[in-house]
Amino acid sequence: MSETAQTYRNYIGGEWVAAADGRTTENRDPATGALLGHFPRSSQVDVDRAVAAAKTAFEGWRRTPAPKRGEILYRVGALLAERKEEIARILTSEMGKVLVEARGDVQEAIDMAYYMAGEGRRLFGAVVPSELPNKAAYGVRDPLGVIACVTPWNFPTAIPSWKSMAALIAGNTVVLKPATDTPHSALKLVEAFADVGLPPGVLNLVMGSGSEVGMPLVQHPDVAGISFTGSSEVGREVNVEAARAFKRVTLELGGKNAILVMDDADLDLAVEGILWSAFGTTGQRCTACSRLIVQKGVRRELEERLVERARALRLGHGLDEQTQVGPLINTGQRERVHSYMQVARDEGARILAGGEMATEGDLTKGAFYTPTLLTDVKPGMRVAQEEIFGPVLSIIEVETLDEAIAVNNDTRYGLSSAIFTRDVNSAQVAMRDLTTGIVYINAGTIGAEIQLPFGGTRGTGNGHREAGLGALEFFTEWKAIYVDYSGRLQRAQIDA
């Protein structure tokens, strides 16, 4: 019996259009393999059309008063709230995360819409005194131009909203390229903008692969800035290509995040935080906890508790409200995760729980992997250094707080970290010395809120931040303005 499914289109210049050559890509449910739809497999021609539309729309959008731009974002937020359940169910079907998390993914987009809409009445500049009499000096923010937003599959509504909404409120126009595994979620976001009356060309959606759409966007001469979230390997290529043309680029890349558990920790609370951080979203978050750095005195008890709880986690389709862990994004990622089990054994680690593909009933139809605990892990092992991006937690024993902090900081990534302790002094030391962009005290490594800058240190990115006011720093250019009303030529640093 042949499968049938709807065919979807790109959104360019205010119109829903097929890819120029008519090619499409299948979108399938990672839990069942069911066909969800056919989505455009776009090419350079489609990229050129989208960038041209964004470039044409830029001048009018730039000159639209920022509070008016904000009013559109408010309407988008309200519409997303109305459609939250519909979008969440689409998101779960194509990405796999459980429904409660999918609702949270959509809620981030709603929150971001309202937050950035408010910035339309701020977009603060700077007013400073001049060193000369009868002269004013101040700074304002200018938009960059056309922005390419290249987004990943693990937060297919939230991350496109982080990027596009900050860019739009600042007066930029946008071409959005979502991940090939999750195009429908991004389409529903763009659909909300279209339905509230965003002017044509201000936000464009081009679906397709990284090689056929992503890199052509990065290299396009009319794209002024690139906002990229994805793997470190691809991020490096994006950075090199952007540098050739002196383009502004922000990179949000990998993570190898850790939770530190001290001997004095509330273990009941720590267990909940660890399970949520390691196995929420099936470990497919850049902020997921993949290392547990535990002080020697509580290691055995903590391991016993985690083994019992990890084995009891219920795997299944994310649309089932009883499911706790959904599938990995695809079978290729499942194979990659599984390959690390042999790496762990070869390096001397032991598997306490999981470590295998799910083989029960309907789970065999999807990309399911059992929640996995590795112990006897040493800080230098590959499983303690490389981003696995799956439900795998490596347990590392330490003697002291100082050792725990040193182990945490000794990776090429620096996104998120957390510590469980009842000692206020230990918490203060951790806040000072953990060298990650995000630090949690008595909470897991996931759960960032949109009103603070999001991003990390070292190989996690290139220093820019998403969300919060930090996003506006990337999407705007400072313009210094001097107004001399003295009626005569005054020379700064000379006549002062």
Do residue 229 and residue 263 come from a single domain? no
Q: Which of 101, 149, 286, 303 is catalytic?
A: 286
Indicate whether 126 and 15 sit together in one domain: yes
pLDDT at 443: 98
Residue 245 sits in the same domain as residue 267: no
Residues 467 and 422 in one domain: no
- Quick one: 298 and 166 in the same domain? no
pLDDT at 22: 97
417 or 496: which carries more pLDDT confidence? Answer: 417
Q: What pLDDT score does 466 carry?
A: 95
- Give pLDDT tens digits for 13-29: 999 999 999 999 999 99
Query: Considering the domain boundaries, does residue 496 fall inside one?
Result: no
pLDDT of residue 3: 79
Query: What is the percentage of the chain residues whose pLDDT exceeds 70?
Result: 99
Residues 301 and 434 in one domain: yes
Mean pLDDT of 133-154: 97
- Total domain count, the chain: 2
10-14, 83-87, 205-209, 356-360: least confidently modelled range: 356-360
Instruction: Tell me the average pLDDT of the chain.
Output: 97
Residues 220, 263, single domain; the answer is: no
Per the residue annotation, which of 252, 303, 387, 397 is the catalytic one? 252
Residue pLDDT, tens place only, 259-286: 999 999 999 999 999 999 999 999 999 9
Contacts of 130-134 spanning 24+ positions with Cβ under 8 A: 130/482, 131/492, 131/493, 131/496, 132/484, 132/486, 132/490, 132/492, 132/495, 132/496, 133/486, 133/490, 134/484, 134/485, 134/486, 134/487
Same domain? For 241 and 267 the reply is no
Residue 451, pLDDT score = 95
Contact 37, 8 (CB under 8 A): yes
In CATH, what number is assigned to the domain containing residue 469? 3.40.605.10
**Domain membership flag for residue 82:** yes
Taking the C-alpha atoms of residue 15 and residue 194, their distance in angstroms, rounded to an integer, is 9
Q: Output the pLDDT for position 1.
A: 42
- Asked if residue 295 and residue 233 are part of one domain, the reply reads no
Q: Which domain holds residue 25?
A: 10-253+461-480
Tell whether 240 and 387 lie within a shared domain: no
Residue 238, domain member (yes or no):
yes
Catalytic residue status for 191: no
Query: Does any domain span residue 96?
Result: yes
**353 in a domain, yes or no?**
yes
pLDDT tens digits, one per residue of 165-197: 999 999 999 999 999 999 999 999 999 999 999
Q: Is residue 391 part of a domain?
A: yes
* Domain shared by 168 and 107, yes or no: yes
The CATH number given to whatever domain includes residue 292 is 3.40.309.10
Q: Examine the residue annotation and report whether 289 is marked as an active-site residue of this protein.
A: no
pLDDT at residue 81 tops 90:
yes
Is residue 293 a part of any domain in this protein?
yes
Q: What is the pLDDT of residue 2?
A: 59
Question: Is residue 222 domain-shared with residue 298, that is, in the same domain?
Answer: no
pLDDT value for 243: 95
Residues 303-360 pLDDT 10s = 999 999 999 999 999 999 999 999 999 999 999 999 999 999 999 999 999 999 998 9
Is 486 part of any domain?
Answer: no
